[in-house]
């Protein structure tokens, strides 16, 4: 409770199970991630509640075979995968801030399922710096998720460059592929419920959207925006898919 920064960190770990924990901090407290994982393999995070001022789960470089399920997330930033800072952090579940360094390990085989996110800034986010990098994000599954009043329910951002400094090329080298979003339902606090902005030089490939049902304000249709995102849509698609096939 009320950690000054990240509540729990797994760095360089193997075969760790985190079950039935509760991580709490004020919603306006900066950098108070719930669980940060990097350079680790075989981690499971289940049956837990995260209510903090930042990411519920942040996934960094070198994370492999990570299973998250039955998570209650929010308030906070959500899941993030980040390469280059927060490694592929996913806010709520975030894979993020990848490509902070040129040579980074990739993120592979991550599953987030059967979870509920409430009032977070982001839902499931993959973020990378707009810099050269050897990093990658591959084989990621987001499925059976309920999102309540999210600002950005589904987001890929490969143009991360705060203050437009330190990003001379403005092209992310991180390669994102084989990412599946399946059976994700709920409401968006912003009209644009899905934003997939991939690298100018490395398009996202093999993206799958299946049975997505996200609405905006009392059932009003939401919108989607894609840039250099390639993949397939299956089943229901709300908002209308913007993927290039």
- Catalytic residue numbers read 54, 77
Nearest to 116 by CA among 185, 30, 58, 19: 185
Kind and range of the H or E run holding 211: strand 204-216
Q: What is the largest CA-CA distance in the chain?
A: 46
Structural contact between residues 159 and 126, judged by C-beta atoms closer than 8 angstroms: no
Backbone angles phi, psi at 84, to 5 degrees: 90, 65
Cα(14)–Cα(160) distance, integer angstroms: 30
Q: Which residues contact 162 (CB under 8 A, 6 or more apart)?
A: none
Residue 175 vs residues 51, 61, 137, 166, 202: alpha-carbon distances, Å: 31, 13, 6, 20, 6
Cα(61)–Cα(101) distance, integer angstroms: 10
Which tokens hold the place of 38? 């990097």
Structural contact between residues 36 and 82, judged by C-beta atoms closer than 8 angstroms: no
Residue 116 bridge partners (DSSP)? 72, 146
């Amino acid at each position: 409770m009320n950690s000054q920064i990240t509540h729990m960190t797994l760095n360089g770990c193997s075969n760790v199970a985190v079950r039935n924990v509760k991580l709490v901090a004020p919603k306006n407290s900066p950098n108070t991630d719930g669980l940060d994982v990097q350079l680790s393999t075989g981690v499971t995070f289940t049956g837990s509640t995260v209510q903090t001022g930042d990411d519920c789960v942040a996934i960094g470089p070198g994370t492999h075979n990570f299973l998250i399920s039955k998570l209650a997330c929010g308030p906070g930033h959500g899941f993030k995968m980040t390469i280059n800072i927060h490694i592929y952090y996913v806010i709520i579940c975030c894979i993020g801030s990848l490509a902070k360094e040129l040579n980074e390990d990739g993120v592979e085989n991550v599953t987030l399922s059967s979870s509920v996110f409430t009032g977070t800034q982001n839902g499931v986010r993959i973020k990378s710096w707009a810099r050269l990098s050897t990093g990658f994000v591959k084989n990621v599954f987001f499925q059976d998720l309920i999102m309540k009043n999210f600002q950005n329910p589904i987001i890929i951002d490969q143009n991360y460059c705060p203050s437009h400094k330190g990003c001379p090329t403005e092209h992310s080298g991180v390669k994102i592929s084989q990412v599946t979003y399946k059976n994700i339902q709920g409401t968006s606090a912003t009209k644009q419920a899905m934003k997939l902005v991939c690298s100018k030089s490395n398009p996202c490939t093999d993206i799958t959207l299946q049975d997505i049902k996200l609405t905006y304000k009392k059932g009003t249709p939401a919108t989607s925006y894609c840039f250099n995102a390639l993949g397939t849509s299956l089943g229901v698609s709300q908002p209308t898919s913007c993927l290039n096939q």
